[in-house]
Amino acid sequence: MAEQRRDTGDGQGAGRAGASRPGVALERAWGDLVATARRTVSDGLVVGTSGNVSVRVGDTVLVTPTGVPYDRLTPEDVCGVSLDGRRVLGSLVPTSELPMHLAVYCSTDARAVVHTHAVHATAVSTLVAELPLVHYMSAALGGPVRVAPYATYGTEELAENMLRALRDRTACLLQNHGTLAHGATLDQAYDRTAQLEWMCRVWLTASSVPGLTPTLLTEDQVARAGERLEGYGQP
């Protein structure tokens, strides 16, 4: 048996799968992750066990397990891996999309990732190579949202395609598949996911009017909106 690391209680000491209890920070993060995963279902962004959510605490990535309905997850079902994909917490098998999650954490400063099969976003992913600039909130995602070329789910190829689409962005569409967004927190990653789905719905709705073509913004207009968004909200 591999040597276990001591649990320090701050999320840095997870041992082999099921070998040690998570620290307080990991327990709290797992609760937040489960709540976010359930929210993707209640808000209609996923169906059944599709989609997945993860959050990074230190060098441990907590992630939803594969094939388990989110409403059945309990604190004892914590599922955690190291940044190289080794299981370090729990006995459940991590999501099949683990390569995508780890690719984000190893390539960006993200602390949370949300992947969904949202209806309108998935529909848009089959139509264009980039979401048209139908709304200035594209700026909140870093600019025009790209579509990552299709690859089989759970593969390194899909993770590589996703990373290229994410360059200088915080969200992307996955062709014939869904969405992926990341952020500094689970709330931020989720909000970006919801914003992307909303923009896709707006574009599809506007595009469906016979005889009319949606007015689009320029990249310069979106960039200027992005500057204003940097100061949005309470200090």
Catalytic residue positions? 97
Distance CA 181, CA 196 (A): 9
Please state, in angstroms and as integers, the Cα–Cα distance from residue 48 to each residue in 73, 76, 213, 229, following that order.
13, 21, 35, 35
Contact (Cβ atoms closer than 8 angstroms) between residue 112 and residue 191: no
d(Cα 222, Cα 219) in Å, to the nearest integer? 5
* Nearest one of 183, 214, 186, 221 to 200, comparing CA atoms: 214
3-state SS, residue 221: helix
**Spatial distance between the Cα atoms of 170 and 69, rounded to a whole number of angstroms:** 27
- Provide the residue count of the chain: 235
Sheet holding 60-63, edge to edge: 87-89, 80-82, 60-63, 52-57, 112-116, 178-183, 171-174, 147-148
Six token digits for residue 107: 């390539």
Contact indicator for 26, 85 with CB cutoff of 8 Å: no
Please check whether residue 122 is in contact with residue 47, taking contact to mean a CB–CB distance below 8 angstroms. Answer: no
